[in-house]
Amino acid sequence: MNKTLSLLILFFSISLLGQDTIKIITSDTTLFVKKYSIANFQKEVESLLNDENFQTANIGIYIKSLKNGETIFSLNENKLFIPASNIKLFTSAAALEMLGSKYNFTTGIYVNGEISYSTIYGDLVIKGGGDPTFSGRFYDGELFKVFDDWIDSLVDLGITNIRGNIVGDDNFFDDKNYGTGWLRDYESYWYSAPSGALSFNDNCIDLTIFYNKTYDSIIVRHNPELRGIYVINEIVPVSPGEASTNIDIFREPNSNKIKVFGTFSRTSDTLKTYSSIYNPTYFTLNALKNRIEARGLRVIGYTVDIDDYNKQIDYKKAVNLFNYKSPPLYEIIKVVNKGSQNFYAEQLLRVMGAELKGIGSFENGISVCKEWFSSIGLNVNHILMYDGSGLSPLNRVTPYQIVNLLERMYNSKNFLYFYNSLPIAGIDGTLSRRMKNTLAENRVRAKTGFISFARNLSGYAKSLDNEDFAFSILVNNFNVPVKLIENLQDKICVLLSSISRKEQ
């Protein structure tokens, strides 16, 4: 397999302007680039690190050539750091290798009872498989597209009445919805949405906020609108000069009572935000039942979690109406890494546990990951993993182990899937606004990681000579603005892209 990382950008003209500077004309910009030898690169990075802004920070760096295995730069490479979302590199890599790039999450639709003509006499059972994609993310924003496809299948089978309940079997996972160490203060927010074997809309509701001039009030609309979800609007309209738009949300623990509060400027554009929900299984079932009824089918019963179900289900005897399969895993990990989507990462972790250890717990998923880490030569004692997304502040990893993982994936049959899931500097994902109009644009693909007092960047970079590097730059416990940490990481990436071993 060709291990040269592809570039999306075409260089139309490259010309020499002296011994150490070249002019690069691309499709949309002109760059004057200073070339760096390995020695000069190291000096420049050391100079950047001597900045007094970083004196109190803990910084770990490891950079390795994937061409010849040479260590290009190292600093505290074997020290443990909080990785934040850099842990998604481990989760997504393990999922590709252990589940396969074309793995599909599968949801079974069953009848626990009998079918006579157009009527189900019994219960419609949804057997969850941990699928995170019941949303508009893969379907041009059509929130109910998956459910509508299911309903179309029911109609095609001639079914128009369900004389029973809609039952959700979420036992593919255990009942723990949050990673170890997750802070309760975060539970209201989309990035802390609970995980579940049956999930809908990333286990969030969409909140649309805008100013109504006629009534001089702020309107908050939520989608989906479901029984048991209560949105309380406590937003105050303000005029420019009084205050700015500053919105926050709070969901009461173990509840779907959601308060939206703060200030909203009368001149602000419509704002969209999100709140997590409580109890993914009932959220999913209620959304499905509402959609079924909205499409004209009749449901006599209620929504029921299998834990509250007073009947037994023998799937060998139940009627399997159809199975729904998600998009393939290689598409799903793009959501995990490019958008740094925590909910998707946790679903991946727990599905690995379910498929390979029998039940989808966080612990089983982590066990699967660590067994694979060990098999490829990573030191599992230097990888402390408590969730799949990196939201837990208990996670720890070393820069050396991250680069070791990146190197192993570089030599994997799944490398291109992994590589294509990473944000592209200056182009998309969490790096869309970073390193724009520099040599690193389109030449760096890397995963960001950000929680309190941790800002990290790890991935791949390509030199002027098209030499491939794996790098990890982890910064913890800083007391300066995050932008300064990002600038440090970006400058190192630009310098990496400027390396040339060719003599003039």
- Given a contact cutoff of 8 angstroms between Cβ atoms, the answer to whether 473 and 81 are in contact is no
* Confidence (pLDDT) at 27: 57
pLDDT in tens, 442-484: 999 999 999 999 999 999 999 999 999 999 999 999 999 999 9
Shared domain for 343 and 478, answered yes or no, is yes
Neighbour-count burial for 364-401, b at 16+ CB within 10 Å, e otherwise: bbbbbbbebbeebebeeebbbbbbbbbbbbebbbbbbb
* Confidence (pLDDT) at 241: 83
What is d(CA 200, CA 256) in angstroms, rounded to the nearest whole number?
15
Position 185 in a domain: no
Position 187 in a domain: no
Position 115 in a domain: yes
Q: Phi first, then psi: what are they for 383, rounded to 5°?
A: -135, 100
CATH code for position 307: 3.50.80.20
What is d(CA 416, CA 369) in angstroms, rounded to the nearest whole number?
20
Position 242 in a domain: yes
Of 327, 349, 366, the residue that ends a domain is: 327
The H or E element spanning position 495 is helix 482-497
Shared domain for 432 and 490, answered yes or no, is yes
Position 294 in a domain: yes
What is d(CA 324, CA 303) in angstroms, rounded to the nearest whole number?
20
Query: Please, what is the Cα angle at 188 between 215 and 270, to 5 degrees?
Result: 35
* Confidence (pLDDT) at 21: 73
182: tokens are 């997750």
Shared domain for 96 and 214, answered yes or no, is no
CATH code for position 484: 3.40.710.10
User: What's the total number of domains in the chain?
Assistant: 3
Position 127 in a domain: yes
Shared domain for 358 and 465, answered yes or no, is yes
Domain containing 136 equals: 106-178+279-327
Residue 11, Cβ neighbours under 10 Å: how many? Answer: 11
Shared domain for 82 and 135, answered yes or no, is no
Position 20 in a domain: no
pLDDT tens across the length of the chain (504 residues): 445 444 333 333 444 444 577 777 665 676 778 899 999 999 999 999 999 999 999 999 999 999 999 999 999 999 999 999 999 999 999 999 999 999 999 999 999 999 999 999 999 999 999 999 999 999 999 999 999 999 999 999 999 999 999 999 999 999 999 999 998 889 999 999 999 999 999 999 999 999 999 999 999 999 999 999 999 999 999 998 888 999 999 999 999 999 999 999 999 999 999 999 999 999 999 999 999 999 999 999 999 999 999 999 999 999 999 999 999 999 999 999 999 999 999 999 999 999 999 999 999 999 999 999 999 999 999 999 999 999 999 999 999 999 999 999 999 999 999 999 999 999 999 999 999 999 999 999 999 999 999 999 999 999 999 999 999 999 999 999 999 999 999 999 999 999 999 875
Shared domain for 366 and 475, answered yes or no, is yes
What is d(CA 374, CA 152) in angstroms, rounded to the nearest whole number?
46
Q: Phi first, then psi: what are they for 8, rounded to 5°?
A: -90, -20
Shared domain for 371 and 478, answered yes or no, is yes
What is d(CA 470, CA 461) in angstroms, rounded to the nearest whole number?
7
- From the number of C-beta atoms within 10 Å of its C-beta (0-12, 13-18, 19+), residue 106 rates as middle
- Given a contact cutoff of 8 angstroms between Cβ atoms, the answer to whether 222 and 206 are in contact is yes
Shared domain for 352 and 468, answered yes or no, is yes
Taking the model in full, what pTM does it have?
0.94
Shared domain for 488 and 357, answered yes or no, is yes
pLDDT in tens, 23-72: 776 656 767 788 999 999 999 999 999 999 999 999 999 999 999 999 99
What is the distance of C-alpha 344 from the center of its chain? 5
* Confidence (pLDDT) at 58: 98
Shared domain for 443 and 467, answered yes or no, is yes
Shared domain for 309 and 216, answered yes or no, is no
Shared domain for 465 and 360, answered yes or no, is yes
Position 503 in a domain: no
